[in-house]
Amino acid sequence: MRPFAFLLLAGVAACAGAASGDAEERPGDLSQGAPRDVAELREIQRRVKAVVVAAGPATVSLRIPADIRADPSQSRPPGSGSAVIVTPEGLGLTAAHVIDYPGRDIRVVLADGTRAIARTLGVDHRLDVGLIQLVGPGPEGPGGPPWPHAPRAKPGQAGHGDWVVALGHPGGFDPARPVTARLGRVIRLRPVVGFQTDCALFGGDSGGPLFDLSGAVVGIHTRIGRTARTNVSASMQDIDAAWGGLLDGLRVWEVFGAVLAPHRKGVRLHAVEEGGAAARAGLVAGDVLQSLNGIDVSDLYATGRALVFIAESEVPTAQIVLQRGDEQRALEVPFGNAR
């Protein structure tokens, strides 16, 4: 098994290294604000190392095949992401926008380079979370050990200000670079939206796990922002509430009642759910959203999150400007019960 790389906050690594000869008593509670002394810094580093060693093997890279459709505008190129195995039988959590829909076969690369095949199960586009099932017995075949896996956190196990460790395969699997871990804090927590952290995340981390310092999965990376403070991970509490649908292979749509896709002029409606909010307002697949409540649309996942915020507001209505062919239209979309 290869070693696992991890990136700590500079102050944590430097102070812990300087105190390597000290014999302070290990602190037990690390959730009360910033570290108070060198002993806490050393304990944080010790726990991060323990998380990486224990959970690194369960953090895998996904390779998603191209999705070719008869209509070229509906096709999607191949992609990659991360995931975490959470049961010995090989169930794994990732982001919905990574696997897109149920019933497809994808390639999985374990942290040690072992390759496997997984089948996508349910996807919840509201949380941006999906479930996969690795095919066959554990990596060493019948009679061998089960799939490496990490425990799921209990509801409320992580909260505002807590230390968290983000694992993933930024840029995709690289045999020359092990699983990468980044240390940060929970800076905001909201229902459905999940954890906002200051962990550094990059393309390829989507779908990877967020751990607390005990090594339990508290979230799944769903949005990679332009800055560290705009990164978002769905919370395990919300994921647990959707677990039955994920396991049954259901596809839970966005509150908007549509699947969104990137487009050079905004955000395209990849598919529209019959009876959903978008369909009731007269939107159809292929429409390109250009403005949402007066704000230009340029970021796919920011748009999805904004739609969630609007749907949960006191007045769940969106003013939308869209392009349909050569025609530009303005519509009001009342959400109601779009899920």
Which tens digits make up the pLDDT trace of 205-239? 999 999 999 999 999 999 887 666 678 899 999 99
Q: Is the pLDDT of residue 53 over 90?
A: yes
C-alpha distances in Å from residue 256, one per residue of 32, 207, 259, 305: 39, 22, 8, 10
In this prediction, residue 94 carries a pLDDT of 97
Phi, psi of 161 (to 5 degrees): 90, -10
Q: Is the pLDDT of residue 38 over 90?
A: no
Query: What's the token pair of residue 269?
Result: 């409606």
Q: Is the pLDDT of residue 334 over 90?
A: no
In this prediction, residue 323 carries a pLDDT of 94
Number of Cβ within a 10 Å radius of residue 28 = 6
Number of Cβ within a 10 Å radius of residue 36 = 11
Per CATH, is 254-334 categorized as 2.170.190.11? no
pLDDT tens per residue, range 119-177: 999 998 888 999 999 998 777 777 677 899 999 999 888 888 899 999 999 988 998 88
In this prediction, residue 72 carries a pLDDT of 64
User: Which band of pLDDT confidence, cut at 50, 70 and 90, is reported for residue 193?
Assistant: confident
Look up the pTM and report it. Answer: 0.72
Q: Is 12 helix (H, G, I), strand (E, B) or coil?
A: helix
Number of Cβ within a 10 Å radius of residue 11 = 11
First to last CA, the chain: 44
pLDDT tens per residue, range 67-122: 776 556 556 778 889 999 999 999 999 999 899 888 899 999 999 999 999 999 99
Size of the chain in residues: 339
Q: Looking at the domain that runs over 1-252, which CATH code has it been given?
A: 2.40.10.120
For every residue of 149-214, DSSP letters joined together read --PBPPTTSS-TT-EEEEEE-TTS-BTTB--EEEEEEEEEEETTTEEEE-----TT-TT-EEE-TT
Q: Which stretch of 19-28, 191-200, 284-293 has the lowest confidence by average pLDDT?
A: 19-28
Ordered by start, the domain boundaries in the chain are 1-252, 254-334
In this prediction, residue 274 carries a pLDDT of 83
Helix (H) or strand (E) holding 11: helix 10-18
In this prediction, residue 233 carries a pLDDT of 93
Q: Is 299 helix (H, G, I), strand (E, B) or coil?
A: coil
| Nearest one of 123, 157, 128 to 237, comparing CA atoms | 157
Higher pLDDT, residue 25 or 87: 87
| Nearest one of 241, 49, 25, 253 to 152, comparing CA atoms | 241
243: left (phi over 0), alpha (psi -120 to 50) or beta: alpha
The most confident of 26-40, 41-55, 256-270, by mean pLDDT:
41-55
For every residue of 13-60, DSSP letters joined together read HHHHHHTTT--PPPPS---SSS--SHHHHHHHHHHHHHHHHHHGGGEE
Q: If you average pLDDT over every residue of the chain, what do you get?
A: 82
HSE-CB of 142 using CA atoms within 13 angstroms: 0
Percentage of the chain with pLDDT > 70?
A: 82
The most confident of 5-9, 98-102, 189-193, 212-216, by mean pLDDT:
212-216
In this prediction, residue 156 carries a pLDDT of 81
